[in-house]
Structure 1
Amino acid sequence: MSNLIYPTLDLFLYALKSPLNATQEEIDKNQENFLSQLPDGTQIEECDGETEYKELTKPAQIDFKPNDDLEGYYYPVRLNDTYGLQIDCSVKNQTDPQPSECFKLLKTEIESQLNRELAIIGQTWILSGFLPEDSFQNPEDIAQDCYHALFNDKNLQQKGKGTFLGGSIFEFWRPRNLAQNESSDRHIVIAIYPNQESGEKAANFYTDWMGLFCYRNKIIWAYWQSRLVKESLIHHYKKIEENRKIIDRDNYWHNKQNFTTSRKIVNNINDILQQYTVDLLKLSFQKQVIEINLSDYQTRLTFIKEKVGKDNQLDLFEDFINLANRKYLLQINKDIENMQLGLQLLKDTINAIRSHIEVEKAARDRNFQEIVAVVGAGVATVSLLKEPVKDCKDIFSKTDICEYPFSFSLAIGVLVGFVFWLLRKRLL
């Protein structure tokens, strides 16, 4: 059985304070949701503008005591446009070894403190404790037992291990399962210290972990947001293709009613194209979010390494930097390139449709002009014959033409119009 003294579980939660293009009402609502995570009556000290790291309450930690055996606290902060919250819970005993199963109790207590309506962008669990004197337990075995106490997950994925303050540190990570509607990745860090002194020193690094894991979770969140944007772009593209195929059908333009329909289709394509362009900008924005937070992650990790000293090995956290560069940024860059090409193809498609409509419009205008010209010639002829026909009795006194002067004029007008139409066909 794996035993640790003073087992402690910390949950780091992150929620957006002011997302892109958020209204003041939405920002206020985010603050209200974050406050609802804290004990009733808690007041936070906000400030205008950006702030890299600000503690939101005085005192900075808000203690809570669930029962006589456990103790814990809240630690709310703001990191630029993001709220961060650490919820700490530990066994109130710093002398007797505790079994690894006690982390299940600590997790249950922390989750009972959570407000389920708080929309988070990510979270990280940190399990810690120190070994009893003269312990011969394998730290890696202890870490695995602690992990299984926290999550009943057979697909254990250990991403790295190192040394920290003379002890062992491990990282476990499992990407979110979209099929199970998981809101964030499962990220767990387990630190096992050699003695109480190292465990007490580790408390000085909580603010550093708060910042480091904030950048990490924002990078992963931005990547998953980019996947949603990509799906939206593909959906827009398919919609435009469906409209294009309607117009490309055989004999489509031979139906006069389709000329009006085609204009509606073009307007529909224009609307979709605008949405496509906006989504393409969102994709570039998520790329920038990843780049900025990746730079901050590297800076913070370097600071932690310098703070802890050379005798510690924290390269396990650098694997995430390689992942972000090799997978996240590379994938988004390819998506942007492909979607920009798709945008050009869509613009070419709509320009071709517009050209076709203009050709059809010109042909219809030409036909209309011919009708006007023919009718005009006939009307002019009727007008010219109107007066002479009245005196036709002197010329056609023995015919019935003079009995029906209007009919005679109309017939002559139709005949002239027909001859005029034939001449236009031959000349044009």
Structure 2
Amino acid sequence: MTNGYINMNHQVYAPNIHLFAYHLQSEKNPCLLYAKVDEIFAKLNIPNFNLSQRIDLQKEPDRLRVDLLKDEEIAKNDNISPPFQGNFTLEEKTLNFDGFAYPLRIQDSYALTLNIRIPEKDEKDNDTEYVGTALLSQFNPDYSLLPNFIASSLGQTLLITAWVAEDKRDLFPDYLELVFEESSGKDSYLTDLAQECLEAFITDREKQPSFHREGELFGSPIYEYGILGDKTPYQHILVWLFCNKETDKKFSKCYQDLIDLFCYRNKIIQSYRDSRQVYKALDITYNKIEQEIDAVENITTTDTLSEDDLNKLQQKLKILAKSASEYTRLLRDLEEQRHTIAINTRNYGEKLKQIKVKIEKENSFWFGKDLDFLERFLSSNCRRFQSQIKANLGYFVPGEGLLDRAIASIRGIVEIEQTRIDRQRQKDAQEERDAIATADKALQNEIQAIGIAVGAGAIMASTSGLITQPWQTPSLSRPLHPFLIALFLSVIVAVASGWIVRLWQKTKDKQN
């Protein structure tokens, strides 16, 4: 925090800081909010408060809404929200402050309401003095009430309330002027005062949220700061300037309801913010899937694929199957965020109805019964959030079917091409076996030819010695020449031997 204080000229009466912070019960550090209170109080020089040790996180687990302060702690002050007191020095003047810390559980979330204020009455029951808006910086030492320090999983709402000086309260246009007349500019003082309160509370301009809108609540002007998506983390700060006692009365009457209302609001906001992160992840995953499908199309441009192409396709299948799982999970997350917003939108609407019933039960006049400022979030933001997520689902859900069809198509291509390659491989193997068999047969024929030639040569060699004997013309009294007889008998023996060998081979083949 910067040293010194902004030179604020305006005076306010009984300023209050209300921190409404919420944290999911399922988070790893469920006691975060209550431990933060102890850290904040250390900065405010409030010793030995030890809120985190005075609560029971498991208290009455079956109830949807339960105060978490231990029973023995409640008995000490007969109060579910333990009070505290302190003081600080501003411009050489000591000022006393007090407040309370209220721990509770709302459904699946832990909640904290922390109030730090300048009381309306002092210890003698006299009205306290007006103070400059610069005092508000003392309530936020080292920006310890801002989201960066609190770091709750569901966010927070900061409400700054203060009474406008009596001579300035009539500057706020009354109901009739708001309805029947154009803005006269009389309330510019209040607008400037609200901005001054914000700047006093957060002196660093870089940390100040942007102005969002203004309105009326319970008969007094209220100003909202913080635009979703404008800064990270998102800050929601309300400055409510009390101009009449009716506002204070209704605020006190509906305080518990506002705690719940802000809880639902913060759940809706956080779910929508989470949905934007899911949307970005879906968009990245979808683009990756498109790139992988394009790569598959490049591989499958030819009519036939090689084994290397099949290996590439199988790798793409693994990548796409993993992407499909991630894509489905992200779609489920986006649908869950839409469901969460729908549930809490309904809860927000029901709580608004309860507030309306409370303030309409009183027989006071119309003043302060307009809830348009709170209803606008329901009618505008909540509808827009749900429409946005519905549109996102409408865009991305078809991609899931496209991805499934792409994976099925690639698997079909792989199976067809694998079958074709296997058949071609079998055909090539058969042709190789046929070629070997043909070569073997040719070799056997060649061997047989050589064998016949050798045999013929042997016959000729064995009978060649008879050629020299005298040749005579054959007759009935004279036999054939001995050479011809020997040659004839050798041929008969060779043929008979070959036939016997062939017969033996066939019999052996049949037995095998």
TM-score, L = length of structure 2: 0.67
The question of whether the paired residues in 2 share the 8 Å contact of 1:173 and 1:187 is answered with yes
Distance 1:45 1:325, change over 3 A: closer
User: Identity over the aligned pairs, expressed in percent?
Assistant: 24
Secondary structure at the counterpart of residue 170 of structure 1: strand
Pick from 263, 282, 285 the counterpart of residue 233 of structure 1.
282
Query: Which of 5, 13, 27 pairs up with 2:21?
Result: 13
Q: In the alignment, which residue of structure 2 is the partner of 1:175?
A: 228
Residue among 68, 74, 83 paired with 2:110: 83
Displacement of 1:383 in angstroms is 6.5
CA distance in 2, matches of 1:63, 1:274: 52
d(CA) in 1 for partners of 2:221 and 2:150? 36
Letter in 2 for 1:91: I
Q: Which of 42, 64, 79 does residue 84 from structure 2 map onto?
A: 64
Residue in structure 2 matched with residue 54 of structure 1 by the alignment: 66
Work out the CA distance in 2 between the residues paired with 1:105 and 1:308.
34
Q: Deviations over 1:37-91 (max 9, x none)?
A: 2433333242475643211114321333342522222111111111111111112
Q: What's 1:159 paired with?
A: 213
* Equivalent residues of 1:50, 1:81 under 8 A apart: no
Tell me, yes or no, if structure 1 residue 199 matches structure 2 residue 269.
Answer: no
User: What whole-Å deviation, never above 9, does each CA across 1:212-250 have from its counterpart, x for those lacking one?
Assistant: 011111111111111111111111112222222323226
1:124 equivalent in alignment to 2:157:
yes
Q: Distance in 2 between matches of 1:270 and 1:196?
A: 65
Q: CA deviation at 1:380?
A: 4.5
* CA offset digits 1:180-235 (Å, max 9, x no partner): xx22x222222233456853653343211111011111111111111111111111
CA offset digits 1:2-58 (Å, max 9, x no partner): 32211101111111112xxxxxxxx5x332434422433333242475643211114
Structure 2 spans left out of the alignment, 5+ residues:
1-8, 39-49, 75-79, 89-95, 122-127, 172-188, 361-365, 457-512
Mapped to 2, the partners of 1:298 and 1:209 lie a distance apart of 12
Letter aligned with residue 97 of structure 1: Y
Partners of 2:353 and 2:453 in 1: CA distance: 114
> 2:16 and 2:271 mapped to 1: Cα distance?
30
Structure 2: how far apart are the matches of 1:354 and 1:222? 38
Contact 1:36–1:115 (8 Å) recurs in 2:
no
Q: Which amino acid aligns with 2:99?
A: G
- Deviates most, 237-246 or 253-262: 253-262
Provide the residue aligned with 2:474 in structure 1: none
1: CA distance between counterparts of 2:406 and 2:245? Answer: 70
Partner of 1:414: none
SS of structure 1 residue aligned to 2:149: coil
The equivalent of 1:111 in structure 2 is 144
Q: Secondary structure at the match of 1:286?
A: helix
Match of 2:429 in 1: 372
Kindly indicate whether residue 242 of structure 2 is the aligned counterpart of residue 242 of structure 1.
no
For the residues of structure 2 that align with 1:226 and 1:163, how far apart are their CA atoms? 30
Distance change in 2, residues 1:336/1:50 (3 Å): farther
* Alignment RMSD: 3.2
Q: Distance in 1 between matches of 2:406 and 2:307?
A: 22
Give the corresponding residue for 1:322. 379
Mark the runs of 5 or more structure 1 residues left unpaired by the alignment: 19-26, 400-428
Matching residue within 44, 47, 50 for 2:56: 44
TM value normalised by structure 1: 0.79
AA of the residue aligned to 2:118: V
